[in-house]
Chain A
Amino acid sequence: MAFSNNTRALFADEIEKIKDDGLYKEKRFICSEQDAEIEVEYPEGAAHKKVLNFCANNYLGLSSHPDVIQAAHEGLDTRGYGMSSVRFICGTQDIHRELQKKVSAFLGMEDTLLFPSCMDANSGVFEALLGQDDVIIADRLIHASLVDGIRLCSAEYDTFKHMNMKHLKKKLELHQNKRTRLVVTDGVFSMDGDLAPLDEMVALCNEYDAMILVDDSHASGFIGKTGRGTHEHYDVIDGIDLITTTFGKGLGGASGGCVSGRSELIELCRQKARPYLFSNSLAPPIVSGSIKVLDLISKSTERRDKLERNTKYFREKMEEAGLNMRPGETPIVPVMLYNAKLANDMARDMYAEGIYVIGFCFPVVPAGKARIRVQLSAAHEKAHLDKCVEAFKKIGAKYGILGMDKKEIIEKYGN
């Protein structure tokens, strides 16, 4: 047979190496709706455990919202289950057009194109728009899907130090001889929760004749005073040329993504972006659910306001408890532990306390910067936040890190 024992051993060895390197991702099963309170089977086969979820991207708590579920049912009933076609043959319904229009209006962009995921949007957008006479200048900590997309494109690329505007300016000066320049950044960086300084970036792009693309997956729906995203937060909506974002996080959490921006750029993506051309789009129930999500958050800022209050409250309480956090204002709260084993051990003990959080270490985050990433949601009530803080206090005391700064934690545990 083609899959010989030797071939099997080859792949099995690779899996073992991943385990030996401490990078193995274990199976965890959620046996309930996605929400603040969930039931988890972990490890596989274990009895279900009720825990509080502090590691979902369910920022607005809309993943299981009754109105969204109802809208998805209506989409299923009136437009069916699937399209059995890519968009440009016979896979576009009126509701796909409606969702694109609503996204454009919500984000303040000229036009929008749906993709099966934001990963696909990021994979396709660069190759569709740029060629070897162009240059892409990216922040060094952009999401992996942007890195993949940039590598698939024939344009030259360069990078600048994370959020370092002096360095970006230098790179823009260096590449003035190119046909076009495209600066690429996350709006909110998923591991640190920090906000890209879009006001300064847009000013530099104007000065050096560059376009700018922002992946706002960890911002759409809740950053900015009406939740439009990082560009609203910095009041530069008109200065942004392209936004990629997802429906898989704050905006309902199902799946799907999009590229939104200048109409000529979106039209070119429609003609040339391979993940759009060669894959089905969002299924009708998800389209209908996503339309409902946009309707809900366009009518009221109640959910993003609650998320903002939750974030402020949680950060204050954690600070009082003596946890070492990266400062910030987004619902991504990195509890810095620096040492990979400490981060994983503490995350495991937090789970035993009924708090579901995950430790992150190299290569997902830079070496020596291991952390537990806490993600807050509008679905969290004050009692949930208090229970999480209490668990951090208890487990932090167990490991003797409360009140310690970076240097002290590294002295105690290494990095």
Chain B
Amino acid sequence: MEEMKKSVLEYIVDEYLDEDDEDEVSFDSPLISSGIVDSFSMVSLKRFVENKYSIKLPDEEATPEAFDTVNSICDLINKHLG
């Protein structure tokens, strides 16, 4: 689980933060509600997760709420990994 969280967090920092960004993101930092990830660009994160863990997240589950923290994203991944 820790490894998965690190991997998702690493992707988020690389994909969404600029080099001069002062935001610090942890496993429970709000992503969508804070504006770091917006609902439009969330698609990249969903694609990353689906490809990396070979799962398919249905749209009704890949909600901004479910994608709001690294912790909640990993809960969703685990649910689909069974």
Contacts and interface: CB of A to CB of B under 8 A. Distances in A.
Interface string B32-73: 001100101101100100000000000000000000000000
A367 B38 contact: no
A384 interface: no
B18 interface: yes
A235 to B, nearest CB: 28
Given A158-B47, A161-B18, A147 B40 contact: yes
A400 interface: no
B41 A140 contact: yes
Nearest to A166: B19
Interface in A348-393: 362-363, 366-368
Contact of B44 (A158, A164, A366, A367): A158
B43 A158 contact: yes
A159 B35 contact: no
Nearest to B34: A367
A157 interface: yes
A365 B44 CA distance: 21
B35 to A, nearest CB: 4
Given A158-B47, A161-B18, A164-B18, A363 B35 contact: yes
Contacts of B41: 140, 159
A140 B38 CA distance: 9
Nearest to B41: A159
B18 A159 contact: no
Nearest to A171: B44
A140 B36 CA distance: 11
A367 B36 CA distance: 9
Contact of A362 (B18, B35, B40, B43): B35
A145 to B, nearest CB: 12
Contacts of B38: 140
A159 B44 contact: yes
Contacts of A161: 16, 18
A366 B34 CA distance: 9
Nearest to B23: A368
B: interface residue count bin: 10 to 19
Kindly name the residue among A138, A140, A164, A362 whose own CB sees the greatest number of chain B CB atoms within 10 A. Answer: A140
Interface string A146-169: 010000000001110100100000
Nearest to A144: B40
Contacts of B44: 158-159
Contacts of B40: 138, 140, 147, 159
A366 B35 contact: yes
A374 to B, nearest CB: 23
A140 B42 CA distance: 10
B62 to A, nearest CB: 14
Kindly name the residue among A157, A164, A362 whose own CB sees the greatest number of chain B CB atoms within 10 A. Answer: A157
A159 B39 CA distance: 11
Contacts of A138: 40
A366 B47 CA distance: 23
A147 B43 CA distance: 12
Nearest to A159: B41
Contacts of A363: 35
Nearest to B17: A161
Contacts of B18: 161, 164
Kindly name the residue among B18, B35, B41 whose own CB sees the greatest number of chain A CB atoms within 10 A. Answer: B41
A100 B69 CA distance: 48
Nearest to A368: B35
Contacts of A140: 38, 40-41
A135 to B, nearest CB: 11
Interface in B1-40: 16, 18, 34-35, 38, 40
B16 to A, nearest CB: 8
A161 B18 CA distance: 8
12 contacts: A138-B40, A140-B38, A140-B40, A147-B40, A158-B43, A159-B43, A161-B16, A161-B18, A363-B35, A367-B34, A367-B35, A368-B35
Interface of A: 138, 140, 147, 157-159, 161, 164, 362-363, 366-368
Which 4 residue pairs spanning A and B have beta carbons closest together?
Answer: A367-B35, A159-B41, A140-B41, A147-B40
Given A140-B38, A140-B41, A367-B35, 19 more contacts: A138-B40, A140-B40, A147-B40, A157-B43, A158-B43, A158-B44, A158-B47, A159-B40, A159-B41, A159-B43, A159-B44, A161-B16, A161-B18, A164-B18, A362-B35, A363-B35, A366-B35, A367-B34, A368-B35
